[in-house]
């Protein structure tokens, strides 16, 4: 027996590999004209793994205090060998991950993969998207530069608009009344300990659910395949689809490396709590549509403050979005149209508000 | 034939194995494997370089002001900063100044002056040194680095010994 075979035999004797890996052996992925969308979830997972690896590397040098954070990031990008590359990959990968997560969400929506029995997969995915945005918001502050300082000030102030618990949330998030070194310490703790822990758990559930229910076939393809069987054929997940997924990861990595190397992430100026906010200040692009909406709402709507209305509207929309699979409900015909209409409206609204936010002063 | 027997235990189908023949498949495999190894190396190399911190700039120089002359009574000592590492300045019972590195040569604890035995003592593993840095007893394998001490007015200045 060769060494590899002996090791395999040793492990098989103890772990019963054949039975343990049996589900992997039988798992198949339907291949048809829309199969390319299936890669998005995997790419998001890959970018998350990149975030974990580069995040751990950044932790080797980063110092979470108002006096040292900016300087330590400066040290990483100017003194540490390849430090600029590691930080740039972390920033680019974060943004690409949000992008692929949104694309994954809309592909699931338009391919109607959220339907029974996969409602919980959708809900867990929405939770992961929320976590990804929270990761982005908390990580944005860590370099302690001017943009991050004001983004955090505004973002936490938005949270304060929530009726009743708003002020409590503001103090909880900031670690006090103002954005200070205490806020930085908290955000650091959320970013490197709390969020990764929760995300790992929910990601595990999400992947288990995907594994349990298998890959969903879009209803349109399913209908076609009744008459013409050749429009869809199953492909073994391991190794056939898995190798294709690896190639997709490889391409994602190439794109990431090119972006990080050719367009390294800047650092900006160190935050000064007593300096005015710079002109043209904007949040990260994935918050831009909300930012632009808040700018458009008048300061008073009936007897309510405009901000309060906006924040409540976002919270309500998020809740509706999370419960989208349940809207199809008993009557799939009208429910389907409702969900589709909401999805089209959401894409159009978010896209146009984002563009508006980019060009608006 | 012992060599053949050995080969048969390593590769069970050694006798059936075809003689080496370059084939298209072999070439493609080598190409694929080679590029995988090359890309793995290109990811690992920056990471390995990254985890090694850049050399710290030692801002201490070779000479420091360790104490004022009125600071130490005879038969006492103080720790002073020598660059990024601690040094031990001892005033002997006779009133002379001695300075040694305060980093124990055993496992790098910081040593202290023991006035009752007039020696330098490391609390971690009970190592003893003479006031000239010589290792006297216990686990320390080497003497402590001894420094030069000069008095400049009311200042006690410690400097690294010049290489002769």
Cα separation, A195 vs A217, in Å, equals 32
Find the mean pLDDT for residues B30-50: 93
Cβ–Cβ under 8 Å, residues B120 and B144: yes
The more confidently predicted of residues B8 and A178 is A178
Is it the case that residue B60 has pLDDT exceeding 70?
A: no
Position B1 pLDDT exceeds 70: no
Residues of B with CB under 8 A from a CB of A: 10-12, 39, 46-47, 49-54
Q: Among B9, B39, B50, pick the best mutation site for testing chain A contact (most A Cβ within 10 A).
A: B50
Q: pTM for the whole thing?
A: 0.85
What's the CA angle centered on A353, arms A300 and A166, to 5 degrees?
Answer: 45
Give the residue-averaged pLDDT of B15-36.
Answer: 80
Quick one: closest CA in B to A60, which residue? B51
| pLDDT tier at B88, thresholds 50, 70, 90 | very high
Give chain A's residues under pLDDT 70. Answer: none
Residues B99-153: tens digit of each pLDDT: 999 999 999 999 999 999 999 999 999 999 999 999 999 999 999 999 999 999 9
Residues 6+ apart with CB under 8 A from B56: B84
- Residues of A within 8 A of B8 (CB-CB) are none
What's the full length of chain A, in residues? 361
B39, B50, B53: residue with CB nearest A57: B50
Q: How far apart are CA B117 and CA A293, in angstroms?
A: 78
Report which DSSP code applies to A250. Answer: H
User: Taking CB atoms and an 8 Å limit, are B54 and A2 in contact across chains?
Assistant: no
Whether A83 sits inside 8 A of B11 (CB atoms) is no
Residue B112 is predicted with a pLDDT of 96
Percent of chain A with pLDDT over 90: 70
The percent of residues above 70 in pLDDT, for chain B, comes to: 83
Q: Judge: B54–A79 Cβ closer than 8 Å, yes or no.
A: yes
Whether residue B3 has pLDDT greater than 80: no
Cβ–Cβ < 8 Å for A93, A51: yes
Contact A86 B12 (CB under 8 A): no
Name which of B12, B39, B50 is nearest A81 (Cβ-Cβ).
B50
Chain B nearest-CA distance from A210, in A, is 29
> Are the beta carbons of A138 and A190 closer than 8 angstroms?
yes
Nearest by CB to A80, from B11, B12, B50: name it: B50
Q: Are A51 and A90 in contact (CB under 8 A)?
A: yes
Question: To the nearest whole angstrom, how far is the Cα of A243 from the nearest Cα of chain B?
Answer: 13
* Alpha carbon of B12: minimum distance to chain A alpha carbons (Å): 7
**B4: pLDDT strictly greater than 70:** no
Q: Which chain A residues touch B53 with a CB distance below 8 Å?
A: 61, 80
Burial B123-135 (b: 16+ CB within 10 A, else e): eeeebbbbbebbb
**B9 or A58: which leads in pLDDT:** A58
pLDDT at B16: 58
Mean pLDDT, chain B, integer: 87
Q: Which residues does A341 contact at the CB level (< 8 Å), separation at least 6?
A: none
What is the ipTM score, two decimals?
Answer: 0.86
Average pLDDT over residues B46-54: 95
- Cβ separation of B51 and A60 shorter than 8 Å? yes
């Amino acid at each position: 027996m060769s060494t590899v075979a002996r090791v395999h035999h040793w492990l098989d004797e103890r772990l019963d590999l054949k039975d343990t890996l049996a589900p992997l052996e039988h798992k198949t992925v339907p291949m048809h004209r829309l199969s390319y969308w299936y890669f998005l979830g995997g790419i998001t997972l890959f970018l998350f793994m990149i975030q974990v690896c580069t995040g751990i590397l950044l932790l080797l040098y980063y110092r979470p205090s108002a006096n040292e954070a900016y300087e330590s990031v400066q040290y990483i990008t100017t003194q540490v060998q390849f430090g600029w590359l590691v930080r740039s990959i972390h920033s680019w990968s974060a943004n690409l991950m949000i992008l692929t997560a949104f694309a994954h969400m809309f592909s699931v929506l338009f391919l109607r993969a959220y339907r029974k029995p996969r409602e919980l997969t959708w809900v867990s995915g929405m939770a992961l998207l929320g976590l990804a945005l929270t990761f982005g918001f908390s990580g944005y502050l860590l370099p302690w530069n001017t943009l991050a300082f004001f983004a955090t000030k505004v973002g936490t102030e938005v949270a304060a608009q929530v009726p009743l618990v708003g002020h409590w949330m503001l103090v909880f998030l900031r670690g006090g009344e103002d954005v200070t070194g205490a806020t930085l310490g908290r955000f650091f703790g959320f970013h490197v300990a709390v969020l990764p822990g929760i995300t790992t758990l929910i990601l595990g559930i999400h992947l288990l659910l995907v594994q349990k229910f298998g890959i969903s076939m879009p209803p349109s393809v399913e209908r076609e395949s009744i008459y013409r069987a050749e429009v869809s054929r199953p492909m073994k997940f391991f190794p056939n689809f898995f190798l294709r997924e690896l190639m997709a990861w490889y391409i994602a990595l190439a794109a990431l490396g090119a972006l990080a190397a050719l367009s390294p992430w800047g650092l900006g100026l160190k935050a000064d709590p007593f300096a005015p906010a710079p002109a043209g200040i904007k949040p990260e692009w994935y918050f831009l549509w909300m930012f632009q909406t808040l700018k458009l709402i008048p300061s008073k709507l009936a007897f309510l403050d405009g901000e309060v209305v906006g924040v409540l509207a976002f919270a309500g929309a998020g809740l509706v979005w999370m419960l989208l699979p349940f809207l199809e409900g008993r009557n799939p015909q009208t429910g389907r149209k409702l969900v589709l209409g909401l999805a089209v409206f959401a894409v159009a609204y978010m896209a146009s508000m984002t563009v508006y936010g980019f060009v608006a002063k | 034939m012992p060599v053949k027997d050995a080969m048969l235990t390593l590769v069970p189908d050694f006798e059936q194995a075809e003689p080496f023949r370059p084939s298209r498949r072999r070439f493609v495999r080598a190409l694929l494997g080679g590029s995988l190894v090359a890309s793995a190396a290109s990811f690992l190399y920056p990471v390995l370089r990254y985890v090694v911190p850049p050399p710290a700039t030692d801002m201490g120089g070779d000479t420091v002001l360790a104490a004022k002359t009125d600071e130490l009574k005879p038969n006492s000592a103080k720790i002073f900063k020598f660059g990024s590492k601690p040094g031990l300045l001892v005033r002997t019972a006779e009133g002379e100044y001695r300075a040694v590195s305060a980093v124990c040569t055993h496992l790098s604890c910081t040593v202290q002056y023991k006035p009752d035995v007039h020696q330098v003592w490391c609390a971690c593993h009970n190592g003893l040194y003479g006031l000239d840095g010589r290792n006297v007893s216990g686990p320390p394998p080497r003497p402590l680095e001894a420094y030069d001490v000069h008095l400049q007015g009311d200042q006690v200045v410690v400097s690294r010994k010049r290489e002769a």
